[in-house]
């Protein structure tokens, strides 16, 4: 269970279907939110720079640095916490900037479609640090902050990323994101099964989780990790309950 903190103009928000006009603000103190999640037992936080995603380049690096420090200060020294960050990472320089800021894992999506050779090189240069995001709409990968649908099938990109040695895959069903209508269990599990034939890599489910039963369904289908945002913010269940269930 990986709690999500989506940053927009310094606030922690959630979008519905990736629509900036449908943003709900949940906190004006993202660093305090990070501390809260870590103290509740989170071992990894998923942070999205939404301003960066819409602008095409990281826009919240300083806030991410402060958030990272807050999370690590709140962590039990025997249980280190990781930060994975995505949003607007469209070139190698953006990846390096975040790694230099102390981020453990960098999430690339559009870049993996636009420049696959570069992402393959980044995976080799930073083993265990590059996560490839696969944002799917009707089986095809969406890019540019979900505003454009590519011609690349989600399963194809997943297998390529596994071959590159990516540290993980982040699979989002855009039609379900932020709506708590239930995760895309079958399609997420299908991607995991597909990449298991290529190499050892975990597919992280994202989008639609609204109940503890949704976590049960993902686990039963063979999904190994999940990101959750709105359900935590709207108190559908607590992080402690979710971690215990996982």
Q: Which residues are catalytic?
A: 6, 135
Element (H, E) at 113: helix 110-114
Distances (CA, A) of 49 to 61, 102, 139: 8, 15, 25
In whole angstroms, what is the distance from residue 246 CA to residue 231 CA?
A: 15
Residue 233, both tokens: 């913010």
CA geometry: angle at 238 spanning 235 and 242, to 5°?
130
164 membership: H or E segment, kind and range: helix 154-164
Structure tokens at 121: 């090189």
């Amino acid at each position: 269970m990986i709690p999500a903190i989506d940053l927009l103009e310094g606030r922690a928000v959630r979008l519905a279907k990736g629509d900036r006009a449908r943003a709900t603000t949940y906190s004006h103190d993202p660093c305090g939110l990070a501390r809260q999640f870590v103290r509740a037992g989170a071992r990894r936080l998923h942070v999205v720079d939404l301003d960066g995603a819409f602008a095409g380049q990281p826009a919240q690096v300083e806030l991410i640095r402060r958030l990272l420090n807050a999370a690590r200060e709140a962590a039990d020294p025997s249980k280190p916490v990781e930060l994975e960050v995505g949003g607007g990472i469209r070139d190698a320089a953006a990846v390096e900037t975040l790694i230099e800021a102390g981020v453990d894992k960098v999430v690339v999506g559009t870049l993996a479609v636009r420049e696959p050779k570069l992402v393959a090189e980044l995976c080799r240069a930073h083993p265990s640090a590059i996560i490839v995001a696969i944002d799917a709409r009707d089986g095809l990968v969406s890019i540019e902050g979900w505003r454009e649908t590519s011609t690349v099938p989600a399963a194809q990109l997943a297998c390529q990323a596994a071959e590159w040695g990516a540290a993980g895959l982040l699979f989002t069903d855009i039609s379900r994101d932020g709506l708590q209508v239930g995760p895309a269990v079958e399609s997420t599990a299908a991607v995991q099964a597909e990449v298991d034939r290529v190499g050892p890599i975990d597919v992280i489910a994202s989008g639609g989780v609204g109940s503890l039963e949704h976590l049960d369904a993902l686990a039963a289908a063979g999904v190994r990790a999940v990101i959750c945002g709105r359900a935590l913010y709207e108190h559908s269940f607590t992080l402690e309950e979710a971690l215990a269930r996982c």
